[in-house]
A and B are shown apart, each in its own frame.
Chain A
Amino acid sequence: MKKRGLVVLFSAVLLLQACSNKDFKPRGIVSETDVCKVCNMSIVHEEYAGQIALSNGDYEMFDDLGCLIEYMKNLNKGDVGKAFIKDEGENNWVDVKTASYVYDKDIWTPMSYGVIAFESKDSAQQYIDKEGKGKLLSYSDLDSFKWGVHH
């Protein structure tokens, strides 16, 4: 009796997984449990955090943009649902592919990679003008970016 129930349940869950929706949304950070998938650091500076919604419904969290990009490089294209990064200052999630980035060696991030994200190119440019430093980068620049060698 129980076994049949289990079989039904198993297949139900498998089915559910098979037809899970492809509309990827970022999830909230649970500071008690979330650690960076790459460097293992617990995520305490939420303003720099990133996450990847995998196509199978799992989430991987990252404490720094650099860790996220490194993890993305080793993933199959099909496995990535959508990747998000926190917007500097605004504290909302933005798509890494459309975001603009600013690098300066003096910008502090949890892994000291020194790259922060902005939702639009304008706000990134504004940051550079205001701080008087920084270099504007796009998503495609990040691929060839040398992470963590500037010190």
Chain B
Amino acid sequence: MKHLCTILYYFVLLWLIFAMPAKADQLTLQEQIDGTPAGSVLVLEDGVYTGQITITKPITLRGSKHTMLEGNGKESLLRIENVQNVTLENIHITDAHVGIVVKNTSQVNLLNVQLQNVWSGVQIYNSKHVVVNNLKIKGINGHYSKKGNGLDVFNSNDLTISNNKVQDVQDGFYIEKAQAIKLTDNDIKNSRYGIHFMYTEDALAEQNDFNQNVTGIMLMMTEDAQLQNNHVTEQNGLNGSGMVLFEAKNIDVLYNHFQNNRTALSTQKLATSTVEYNTFQMNQTAIELLRSNKENTVYANDFVGNIVNLRSDGTSISISQNYYDDYDGIDFDDNGIGDSPYVALQSFGQWMVRKPSYQYFIESPSVVLLNKMDRQTNAIETEQLVDKEPMMYSAQKATTEWNIQLWQVVTGLTGLVLGLWLWRKEASV
């Protein structure tokens, strides 16, 4: 009897383990959601779920380790509409036209969601109090003009978007008509624009990493934004730029690191904005100013190893206390500020602004010489692109790693000895 009980017990256990999920599979995900009371948590077992899903009541949908929603690549897979308090957690989504659509909602959280092979990842319309954390979005293959955006936001406010990784999409984040939006610690690469702001107010982009996009941050018709501590590297494609600020007001660009971009920061019709404490390192052009003439300042930045530091179309701007590695003045009174002004105006830089074909001559021998002559003739320039108080020392120091590579030392020395020996031998009578 006891044995029988044990066997029965194990049987029930086995049945629970294997048969239960099979039975659950018979209910579609939509039916499971419909059967879940409002306000409760639906935990999804491991497995692949297909078919479109719509959530219209306040629930938490939580996936297990291998919970996967699979679409057919043609339609939007998961819709969250006209609802408050929905949380989506721990889910893989694959093969959808649009992974998740969020419309007319408030208090929606999207956490730990992976989206793969999607034309567009997430679209958020007319919503408020949205949290998007730890999403991984990977778009489809092909040219960016044939793809959707990683995450779209339209007409929404109070959004926190952080710790996301986005790659291979058109725009990583496309933000249109949003208010109070925070984008922090995101990582966007191989896309058209990392973050694309349009008609947005009160935005913060902090500690994001942009790598190999056409443009890191494209900010247009936007007011009151802070872009700080971002790492902007290798936007060096044909039209690559680190950040482009277009028709914007009250933008603070602070403590960012721009490295190896074609143009690090391009501004157009910018007003009452500041560019402070940034590092511009080894960009082809560090700052380009076009038609931006209202109370903008470029203050206390480091310019190191750029080909063109500043160029403009005649736009005036207040430039002061930056460090330029090609400044050749001296500091007699030892206050850390050079005694003579730094003139960034270069004829070539100005030409390049006007006609793109001049780009060919960038840092060519003739232009290098021209710049040297400019240095002499422009010493009397006082208006355009002049920093009257250039700093003598950089605030930051580039770190150099010391690692001696033996084979190179050996090859170098061997080449040298061999060359000298040959020379001596052949030259001797």
Contacts and interface: CB of A to CB of B under 8 A. Distances in A.
B145 interface: yes
Given A112-B176, A148-B221, A151-B199, A44 B192 contact: yes
B241 interface: yes
Nearest to B266: A40
Interface in A24-48: 31-33, 35, 39-44, 46
A111 B246 CA distance: 11
B314 to A, nearest CB: 14
A89 B266 CA distance: 34
A89 B221 CA distance: 27
Interface residues of A, number: 15
Contacts of A39: 220, 246-247, 268
A21 to B, nearest CB: 21
A-side binding surface: helix, strand, loop or mixed? loop
Contacts of A33: 238-239
A44 B244 CA distance: 17
Contacts of B239: 33, 35, 40, 42
Given A35-B239, A40-B241, A44-B170, A112 B199 contact: yes
B143 A32 contact: yes
Contact of B244 (A31, A32, A40, A43): A40
B268 A40 contact: yes
A54 B239 CA distance: 22
B337 interface: no
Given A32-B143, A33-B238, A42 B214 contact: yes
Contacts of A111: 198, 220-221
B218 interface: yes
A31 B101 CA distance: 28
Interface of B: 143-145, 170, 176-177, 192, 198-199, 214-215, 218, 220-221, 238-239, 241, 244, 246-247, 266, 268
